[in-house]
Chain A
Amino acid sequence: MMRVVRGFYSVAHAVKLCKPNVICAYPITPQTEIVVNLAEMYANGELQNCRYITAESEFAAASILLGASATGARTFTATCSQGLILMSEVLYNAAGLRLPIVIVNTNRAVSAPLSIWNDLQDSMALRDAGIIQLYVENNQEAHDVIPQAYKIAEDERILLPFMVCMDGFKLTHAYEPVDLLDQELVDSFLPPYKPKAYMTTKRSLAFGCYAPPHIYMEFRVAMQNAMERAKTIMENVFREWAEISGRDWGGHLEVVNPDAKAFVVAVGSVVGLLRKVVEDLQKEGLKVGLIKLRTFRPFPTEELRKALSEAEKIIVIDRSVSLGYEGNLSIELKSALYGMSAEIVSMIIGLGGRDIPKDFLEKLVRDALAGKEKSGFKGVKEFEEVIP
């Protein structure tokens, strides 16, 4: 059913159809309306076999879900920015406990200075936690990814938390036509969560044991192996989704103009704008391709190497930075493409919600193609001058 809804609703509706057992809520802009929408559904009795908990902090919200997930419940929460950072101790732990908690992170800048607006610094900070990270381009994709997130996270060959990253405000607050799923379709795709190991008095299993040096590394290796396995399993789930929903979001990445020698690489909502930029540059006779990277963890190294095997120049659109080094996505790409000869330029833009107009983005890409732009922060002073 096609409806014009805001990003929040597209997430909340999809979560409802996944029949979570425990939802935790703590408000943080621009996430709040997701849990507010779910609260309304809960209050109206639309969520069966579900407990909706208003936690005292994101730290508690993640902890409550950790306990619930270990008891065999399907769980959901949404957060971003400081909230995600506050959850981070628990999320690292949930990953180590192999609990398939699904989180929507509405990407937002981190303090200080305080900013409620969008960039990707928050989720990038959780890169190493053992959490699957997928970045969506629009609200339809956010909607469609939720059932897939549960299916992937709960696969007993994976069992890791799953974080769906959607740009705060740019997606959460945007009205878009979204083809809303129906219960029947989701039910046919997503079976109930039935873990093999969970807390029950029928069996006295212990969770969260401590590991002396003779065994700790093996647990971490197991997590790494699960991430590796996830690559193939995710591809299969993506394909299955495309078949039953009729909407194909690609695999770990989507390649536009695969024959180009120069590529722009980006994640999230900025991809939508880049599609138009690339299309217009093509019309001018500039041959440039676009890679929309969907999965950030596990990182699709092989797929990227393949897609970029003939590339001479790669322009990375970074919306976060590892301070003291460079743009996060660019770091990842350089590592993935080690030994290949393509030049990689990192354009760090849009931090703290700074607007990214199309002509600005187009100029950056054009100048980078012409070798007139080096890596670094873009649109800092000159952009401030054009703010009306």
Chain B
Amino acid sequence: MRFFGRGHGACPGCGLTIAVRNVLEALDGKCFVANSTGCLEIISSQYGKNAWGVPYIHSLFDNTAAVACGISEALKALGREDEGKVVVLAGDGATADIGLTLHGMFDRNHDVIYICLDNEAYQNTGHQQSGLTPLGEETTTTPAGKKMLGKTGRKKDMIAIALAHGSPYVATSSAVLPADIRRKVKRAADLYGAKYIQIHCPCVTGWGIDGKDVVKVGNLAIETALYPIVEFENGQLRTVRKIKDRKPVEEYLKLQRRFRHLFADPRGKEVIAEIQKIADYNAEKYGLDIKKE
């Protein structure tokens, strides 16, 4: 609780707060945080009730990467590079949709650790679909109705986008893997340049899960291969979190209100089959399955 948390207003069980605490602890609080508009900003930055124990700036929804570039460059110009790392903490909407300035950060390779806190929708405004919302999810802007059955497109592949920009370090992690978050943030901090880490953060209210099920649901995302936990250095895949007995996606989906319609509607079977294909593709692409002898 040294660097974050005192008096924050997150929902009980919120994945973001676990992720943020571990990021800051991995850096021993020696960092500058630029935070986009979203849940994290709202739960932590109320005037007079600021929950941050590190230097913090919130500017706008759409410019966090560029603000972080500015901090990083200012530290260089002022000869203060030893003060700490520059870290972006941004939601999935801020990262994959409106955060236009992310590609500039990659392109110029500013020394910034960009962390996307991925709870798979705009949760701060009450659960609307973002570019990182997965196929089939019901949100308030992709409702399940007579013609439409939740989100129709796939989850945007930000990992591929970061890799395509030549980012020196690209990884995924999950709020249910605190040690993994800390290790990856430390590794990112050791490398120079624009690093990207995407952390899966279960959202109790948006996903419609019990607070006590956050860890279970977060783990199932990994165990079904819907959220592959991977790590790239200089474009090369270095580590993956292997899966012993990959579980069918239904096990993950059925626990969450956001996918409930897929089980209630007869057309849901097709969508679940599509989601299973995505999981299979992930498993194949990253070699996630531990092959049985």
Contact = CB atoms under 8 A, between A and B. Distances in A.
Please say whether chains A and B are actual partners in one complex.
yes
A63 B59 contact: yes
Interface stretch (B27-35, B129-137, B230-238): B27-35
B247 to A, nearest CB: 40
B68 A67 contact: yes
Interface stretch (A209-217, A263-271, A296-304): A209-217
Contacts of B50: 206, 209
A218 to B, nearest CB: 10
A72 B63 contact: no
Which of B55, B59, B63, B70 has the largest count of A CB atoms less than 10 A from its CB? B70
Interface stretch (B12-20, B72-80, B114-122, B274-282): B72-80
B279 to A, nearest CB: 35
Contacts, number: 161
Contacts of A201: 29-32, 54-55, 83-84
Interface string A11-31: 000000000011000000000
Contact of B77 (A73, A199, A202, A203): A73
A67 B59 contact: yes
B287 interface: no
A383 interface: no
Contacts of A67: 34, 57, 59, 66-72, 74
A186 B146 CA distance: 70
Given A53-B73, A67-B71, A207 B58 contact: yes
Contact of A21 (B74, B101, B104): B74
Interface string A60-78: 1011111111111100000
Which of A49, A60, A97 has the largest count of B CB atoms less than 10 A from its CB? A60
A210 B63 contact: no
A318 B262 CA distance: 62
The B interface is mostly helix, strand or loop, or mixed, namely: mixed
Nearest to B75: A71
B290 interface: no
A203 B29 CA distance: 11
B161 interface: no
Interface string A39-59: 000000000011101111101
A273 B58 CA distance: 46
A200 interface: yes
Contact of B47 (A60, A68, A90, A210): A210
Given A22-B73, A60-B63, A207 B57 contact: yes
B42 interface: yes
A355 interface: no
A309 B108 CA distance: 56
B45 A210 contact: yes
Contact of B55 (A57, A59, A199): A199
Contacts of A53: 69, 73, 108
Interface string A190-203: 00000000011111
A228 B29 CA distance: 39
Interface in A85-112: 89-90, 93, 97
A206 B50 CA distance: 7
Contacts of A60: 63, 66, 69, 100-101, 104
A204 interface: yes
Nearest to B76: A51
A22 B74 contact: yes
A208 interface: yes
B286 interface: no
Nearest to A202: B83
Contacts of A210: 41-42, 45-47, 58
Nearest to B108: A53
A387 interface: no
A269 to B, nearest CB: 32
Which of A71, A200, A209, A211 has the largest count of B CB atoms less than 10 A from its CB? A71
B52 to A, nearest CB: 5
A50 B77 contact: yes
B62 to A, nearest CB: 8
Contacts of B78: 21, 49, 71-73
Contacts of A93: 59-60
Given A63-B67, A68-B71, A210-B46, A200 B83 contact: yes
B107 interface: yes
Contacts of B84: 201
B30 A63 contact: no
Contact of B52 (A66, A69, A206, A212): A206
Given A22-B73, A53-B73, A200-B83, A70 B57 contact: yes
A134 to B, nearest CB: 24
Contact of B60 (A21, A22, A68, A89): A89
A209 B63 CA distance: 16
Contacts of A68: 70-71, 73-74, 77
A205 interface: yes
A64 B67 contact: yes
A72 B48 contact: no
Nearest to A65: B70
B153 interface: no
B103 interface: yes
Given A51-B77, A71-B75, A201-B55, 12 more contacts: A21-B78, A51-B73, A60-B63, A67-B69, A67-B74, A71-B74, A201-B29, A206-B57, A206-B58, A209-B47, A210-B42, A211-B47
Q: Nearest 9 A-B pairs (CB), nearest first?
A: A67-B70, A63-B66, A63-B63, A56-B104, A67-B67, A71-B74, A73-B74, A208-B58, A68-B70
24 contacts: A22-B70, A51-B73, A53-B69, A54-B108, A63-B59, A63-B66, A67-B59, A67-B66, A70-B57, A71-B80, A72-B74, A73-B74, A89-B60, A89-B62, A93-B59, A199-B71, A201-B54, A201-B84, A204-B53, A209-B48, A209-B58, A210-B41, A211-B47, A215-B47
